């Protein structure tokens, strides 16, 4: 059941539109990159917040404070850059690339068609690609570990009761008790990407 208010639904739809537009090739870039949301968070707070222990992050440019869960969602669909600071001096920078490539996105879209949650028909091309096994827990950025989730279902996955797993590269979902009293794992949809191959060449003479 979707218990969001009408205002929240409008907000989420607008946020999804912004995310889709930012990926478009015709959009302007900043230093060669698409417009991005940058969130600063202390490494200790990030780990504690993802474990449900709270913590706050700061949106760069505005100074606004948001829950660490926001930083975690930004990182799931983007990149994490670790900056090591010692007494105010930057002494190390590392970047963890966790963005699914264009080719991986196309393959996942061809496989799943829509948001993976049953009953949600947001096209996969509009969705974010979710790491089934979280990247911070060693989950690879691979088609066998990626599924499309709409903006709302991606952000509510941890509290909605829906669960996702991969069975030999095939996505499966288990719904909350109100949706399925038996709480069985199900394969939402199976699709086969058909490729049109050229006719075989024949030698003459």
pLDDT tens, the chain, 205 aa long = 677 888 988 988 888 788 777 767 777 666 666 666 677 777 777 666 554 445 777 777 777 887 777 777 666 666 667 777 777 788 887 766 667 888 888 999 999 999 999 988 889 988 888 889 887 677 888 899 999 998 889 888 888 899 999 999 999 999 999 889 999 999 986 544 443 444 444 444 4
Residues 120 and 66 both lie in one domain: no
- The answer to whether 149 and 115 are in contact (CB under 8 A) is yes
Is residue 135 one of the residues assigned to a domain?
yes
User: Mind spelling out the 3-state secondary structure of 52-120?
Assistant: CCCCEEEECCCCCEEEHHHHHHHHHCCEEEEEEEECCEEEEEEEEECCCCHHHHHHHHHHHCECCCCCC
Q: How many domains does the chain have?
A: 2
Residues 36 and 112 both lie in one domain: no
Residues 122 and 169 both lie in one domain: yes
Residues 120 and 155 both lie in one domain: yes
* pLDDT computed for residue 172 by the predictor: 94
Residues 111 and 152 both lie in one domain: yes
Is residue 199 one of the residues assigned to a domain?
no
Is residue 195 one of the residues assigned to a domain?
no
* pLDDT computed for residue 200 by the predictor: 47
Residues 84 and 17 both lie in one domain: yes
* Final residue in a domain of this structure, among 97, 123, 146: 97
Give the three-state DSSP class for 169. coil
* Final residue in a domain of this structure, among 47, 74, 97: 97
Other CB atoms within 10 Å distance of the CB of residue 5: 8
Is residue 19 one of the residues assigned to a domain?
yes
Which token pair is 15?
A: 């946020």
Is residue 1 one of the residues assigned to a domain?
no
pTM metric for this prediction: 0.65
Is residue 203 one of the residues assigned to a domain?
no
Residues 87 and 157 both lie in one domain: no
Residues 108 and 121 both lie in one domain: yes
Range of the domain at 39: 6-97
* pLDDT computed for residue 47 by the predictor: 63
- The answer to whether 13 and 4 are in contact (CB under 8 A) is no
Is residue 193 one of the residues assigned to a domain?
no
Residues 80 and 139 both lie in one domain: no
Residues 10 and 88 both lie in one domain: yes
Residues 73 and 118 both lie in one domain: no
Measured distance CA(128)–CA(149) in Å, rounded: 6
Rg (CA), the chain: 20
* Final residue in a domain of this structure, among 72, 97, 122: 97
Residues 11 and 88 both lie in one domain: yes
Is residue 33 one of the residues assigned to a domain?
yes
């Amino acid at each position: 059941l979707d218990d969001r208010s009408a205002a929240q639904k409008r907000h989420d739809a607008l946020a999804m539109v912004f995310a889709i537009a930012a990926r478009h090739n015709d959009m302007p870039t900043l230093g060669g990159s698409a417009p991005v949301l940058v969130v600063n968070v202390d490494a200790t707070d990030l780990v504690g917040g993802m474990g449900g222990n709270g913590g706050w992050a700061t949106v760069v440019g505005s100074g606004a404070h948001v829950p660490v869960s926001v930083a975690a969602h930004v990182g799931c669909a983007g990149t994490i850059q670790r900056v090591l600071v010692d007494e105010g001096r930057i002494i190390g920078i590392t970047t963890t690339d966790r963005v699914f490539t264009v080719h991986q996105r196309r393959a996942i879209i061809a496989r799943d068609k829509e948001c993976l949650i049953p009953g949600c028909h947001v096209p996969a091309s509009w969705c974010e690609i979710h790491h089934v096994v979280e990247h911070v827990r060693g989950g690879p950025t691979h088609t066998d570990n990626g599924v499309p989730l709409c903006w709302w279902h991606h952000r509510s996955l941890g509290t909605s009761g829906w669960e996702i797993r991969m069975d030999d590269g095939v996505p499966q979902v288990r719904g909350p008790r109100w949706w399925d009293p038996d709480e069985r794992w199900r394969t939402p949809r199976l699709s086969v990407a058909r490729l049109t191959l050229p006719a075989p060449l024949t030698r003459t003479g």
